[in-house]
Structure 1
Amino acid sequence: MKVKEVAELTGISVRTLHHYDEIGLLSPGRRSESGYREYSDVDLETLQQILFFRELGFPLKKIKDVLNSPSFDRKEALILQRTMLLEKRSRLDQMIHLVEKTIQHAEGEIHMSNEEKFEGFDFRHNPYEKEARERWGDKAVDQSNAKLAGMSEEEQKAMGEKMNAIYRELAALRQESPASEEAQAAIKEWYDFLNSNFGSYSLDAFKGLGQMYVADERFTKNIDKFGKGLAQFMCEAMGVFADRIR
């Protein structure tokens, strides 16, 4: 399909498609003899992925990083996108309901207590737990939560310090190849740490977790506090580790 046909099919402007090409986000696999861009079915699948991520608020640079990752898996991404979109829909439904009640309160039709005015806002839950249950099942998450609940404050602090030490070690290596001996030794330490403290991680689950580090900007933001680009580096190193061990 030519660029104009893709624009008509998707509702995206020709200018936007040209921009995606220019920044290397979506470059058509071929061009016609006259030099026009021609999009294949594979290109259209990639465009669909881009639009899903855009709907979830991902910046173009982050989308490019995710799609270019050697460990990127389209089905894995679709599962994560579905989970995040369902979560987004649920939260929007809560906000709409709260706004409607607030309008009724402002017009004197109902009375809202202070508690009711903020019933749609809940920042106390773990934002990653839903994704974890979707990917690895209730058993793994419940085991992890139970173990944490049974630890003393000192034990939790020691575990946190160990985790931060591994992050710092990996951050110091992030300019190296994710497949290097040093990087793989450090990522094995991360694999062993997760299995010792958060239940049993299969190689597929470990690789999937790495993909989430770059697919979910919440993970990326927290991990990259130890060094810009660390989340991407860990994602690639975890993919290499999982593929080598199989």
Structure 2
Amino acid sequence: MSPHSRDEDATSREGGGTNGEAASHGGLTVGAVAQRTGITVRTLHHWESVDLVTASERSPADYRLYTTADIARIHRVMLYRELGLPLERIRAVLDSGAELTADTLRGQREQLADRIDELQRMHHALDRMIDTVDAGLPLTADEQVRIFGDDWNPDWTRQAREKWGDSTQWTQYAERAVDRETADWEQIAEQTHELNSTLAAALARGVRAGSSEANALADAHRESLCRYFDCTISMHVCIGRMYADDPGFRAHFDGVAPGLATWLRDAIDANARAHGVDPDTATWE
């Protein structure tokens, strides 16, 4: 027989049969107490080992017998456990007067209030995360138009969610967006507007794709995307192609400056070559 089996056998014998309420001496066996209270025999043994609840009597065979007062103490322990007090603190409360009990309960209430506040913050953060993952932006349609301009279409975020919602990059985007407030999006919109103006000015001055200036602007554009997700050079090439090929993106960039979508794609391709990436074989990785 294994040691574990011997322990279970000893527990069963000491329990005196869980269907029997009281031993012949008037106290309840550990098994009967476990059945009556819903506390396991193992837990009752642990509580005794830490001097929390001790059986006051013993049978002639030296089995634990719990008196009415012992069982009342068990119910008090159960109550304070429900309130979240640790066993050591419960023992101090049960062995003290009413003043310590009241102070302990007030302290526990303060801890619970702090925990409730924390859970409410977590709940709010989860709501924002869900909204961002589902909707693309934690902003109303009106807020999006006000921040990003009259030519902004709030439906773009839904389209992006449908296209990329299952990607790692969309998850990164949601994780980074969840803590951004309206002022943060306003700052991002301003920085994006400034970058687009700089790109348009370079196009107007005849800056050639592949030049050091164009490469620097392509790098700056990729870095701006890294606010949302980790954008590699290869991914940047794919995005540049989308700017030039997708009617909506082309219209957006060409609205900033005619021909900007194609120029930006060419600048991104040339910059990729400068970094050792062949744009003709670039993939989303």
TM-score computed with the length of structure 2 as normaliser: 0.40
Rg (Cα) greater in structure: 2
